Amino acid sequence: MRASDVRRAVVAAMSTASSLGLAADDAIVLHDSNKLTLRLLPCDVLARVAPVAHQVAQFEIELAQRLAESGCPVAALEPRVEPRVYERDGFVVTLWTYYEPVTPREVSPADYANALERLHAGMRELDVPVPHFTDRVEQAQHLVASRDHTPALADADRELLGDTLRSLRRAIGERGGAEQLLHGEPHPGNVLTTRNGLLFIDFETCCRGPVAFDLAHAPEEVSEHYPGVDQALLRECRILVLAVITTWRWDRGDQLPNGRRLGTEWLSQIRAALDRNGLDTPG
């Protein structure tokens, strides 16, 4: 979130909670990206705040409720207030249960895989309208093709990203495997380690596609414990995901701290991965 909006977003979250009878005298910023994630005190509520124009909060709430009802390992909404989207001062605010982190430890790849498998099983039972994973790839392709949006991207790197996105999108599509509702970005940043086990958060990125697309966001060791993985498809998905997130880092509007440094590192990783897997990127 833009620095100029952070303070207003914090005030919007605290005011919303207070108006609902939740004591919110302080706020701790837990995460700042396209939305702000706060711990409100002393009520101990997790608030997520986003500009009205850039959010899918209602979808996220409804999906989280349905997944929780199915027994999926997902974070719960705050039970003391009505589970809905609250709007204040140009922001939307959603209120969630705050989970005290357990003693820091390495998350077991087997536990991670088991939780993700349970999430996928619940998602297979839901029929909700979501974008296809290729929509995200197409958005990245538009950024690569636009020098106005990615002015600092060198010609050779622009060609690499464009060819990688195009060829792997086609190759994965031609495999014609099973597809289902996915989390979209089940990376470690979207997994909470709690006393209730591993819980997934942030469902605004849900999409439809092969399970391997979700696994491509998780640590490599996780896929070793997930049953029935198509390893060739997973390798292609990993490189495709890396190409997408690398493209985002070169968007002139990207606000991720150290984003340009990451974009440079990931370009090198893409070249190494293509070479290691014997893949080329024909136009």
Residues 115 and 204 in one domain: yes
Is residue 58 scored above 60 in pLDDT?
A: yes
pLDDT score, position 282: 41
Residue 114 has pLDDT above 80, yes or no: yes
Q: Per the domain annotation, does 283 fall within a domain?
A: no
In a domain, 104, yes or no: no
- Please indicate, yes or no, whether residues 189 and 270 belong to a single structural domain of this protein: yes
Q: Would you say 97 and 68 are in contact if contact means Cβ atoms under 8 Å apart?
A: no
**CA-CA distance, 245 to 140, in Å (whole number)?**
8
Looking at residue 104, its pLDDT comes to 61
pLDDT at site 229 = 94
The verdict on residue 246 lying in a domain is yes
Judgement on whether residues 82 and 125 belong to the same structural domain of the protein: no
Which distant-in-sequence residues (6+ apart) come within 8 Å of 17 by Cβ? Answer: 23, 24, 40, 43, 45, 47, 95
Does residue 98 register a pLDDT over 90?
yes
- The mean-pLDDT minimum among 12-21, 130-139, 150-159, 251-260 falls in 251-260
Last residue of one domain, picked from the residues 74, 97, 120:
97
The CATH number of the domain holding residue 243 is 3.90.1200.10
Residue 103 lies in a domain: no
Cα–Cα dist 57/100, whole Å: 23
Residue finishing a domain among 69, 97, 125? 97
Is residue 90 located within the same domain as residue 179? no
The pLDDT assigned to 123 comes to 96
Decide if pLDDT at 280 tops 60: no
Q: Is pLDDT of 252 > 70?
A: yes
**Helix, coil or strand: residue 134:** helix
> Which residue, of 72, 97, 122, is where some domain finishes?
97
Has residue 282 been placed in a domain? no
- And the tokens for 111? 């536990």
CATH number for the domain spanning 66: value is 3.30.200.20
Tell me: do 52 and 155 sit in the same domain. no
- Label residue 164 by pLDDT band (50, 70, 90): very high
For residue range 71-80, list pLDDT tens digits in order. 999 999 999 9
Predicted local distance difference test score (pLDDT) of residue 54: 64
Please report the pLDDT score of residue 272 as a whole number: 95
Ordered DSSP codes for 35-67: SEEEEEEETTEEEEEEETTS--HHHHHHHHHHH
Q: Would the pLDDT of 277 be above 90?
A: no
The C-alpha atoms of residue 128 and residue 110 are separated, in whole angstroms, by: 29
Q: Which amino acid is at 32?
A: D
Over range 73-101, report the average pLDDT.
Answer: 94
The domain total for the chain is 2
Is the same domain home to 235 and 178? Answer: yes
Question: Same structural domain for residues 169 and 198?
Answer: yes
- Tell me if 255 is assigned to some domain: yes
Q: Taking residues 203-224, report their average pLDDT.
A: 96
If residue 25 lies in a helix (H) or strand (E), which one and from where to where?
strand 24-32
Which stretch of DSSP H or E encloses residue 12?
helix 3-19
Model confidence at 283: pLDDT above 50: no
Is residue 102 assigned to a domain?
A: no
In angstroms, the CA 196 to CA 101 distance is 10
164 and 259: one domain? yes
Residue 55 has pLDDT above 50, yes or no: yes
For residue 32, name the pLDDT band (cuts at 50, 70, 90).
Answer: confident
85 domain residue, yes or no: yes
Residue 211: pLDDT band by 50, 70, 90 thresholds? very high
Within this chain, do residues 53 and 123 fall inside the same structural domain, yes or no?
Answer: no
Domain that holds residue 145: 109-277
C-beta separation of 182 from 213 below 8 A? yes
Asked whether 101 and 192 are in contact (CB, 8 A), the reply is yes
Rounded to the nearest angstrom, the gap between the alpha carbon of residue 87 and the centroid of all alpha carbons in its chain is 23
164 and 90 co-located in one domain: no
Backbone angles phi, psi at 56, to 5 degrees: -130, 45
State whether 85 and 138 are in the same domain.
Answer: no
